[in-house]
Amino acid sequence: MSYSDLTTLPKVALIVAILGFVFGVQTLTTSTVNGVTQCSFIDYGALLFGAAGAFLGSLGEVKALSLTEGKLVNLMVSGAAVMIGIFNVLRGLGVIWGPC
């Protein structure tokens, strides 16, 4: 189980998923009507890179199932990319770590 056992797809998936933490284009809208404050937040960078990382990670999972050598490390890295991607999608929608 080493870095050389990794195929290209899990590496790319993990990098794309992590880019969701680096690049961000955010919109924040607040309004107050009759004392009730409403807030809307979206981070398009986290949403885009998170969805792409989760998708590529899921493709990496499927591809890793057909490998005979290095299957476990490919499954682990692809799974990590999927989890980071889902986290970034939720963060991009403002569900977690949002200012609202």
Q: Where do the domains of the chain lie?
A: 3-92
Residue ranges of E strands in 3-51: 26-33, 36-43
Rounded CA gap, 86 and 16, in Å? Answer: 12
Crossing angle of helices 71-92/8-22, nearest 10°? 20
**pLDDT of 15 over the 80 cut:** yes
pLDDT at 1 (0 to 100): 65
User: Burial, 5: exposed, middle or buried (Cβ in 10 Å; 0-12, 13-18, 19+)?
Assistant: middle
pLDDT at 11 (0 to 100): 94
pLDDT at 5 (0 to 100): 81
Q: Which residue, 50, 7, 44, 6, is CA-closest to 28?
A: 44
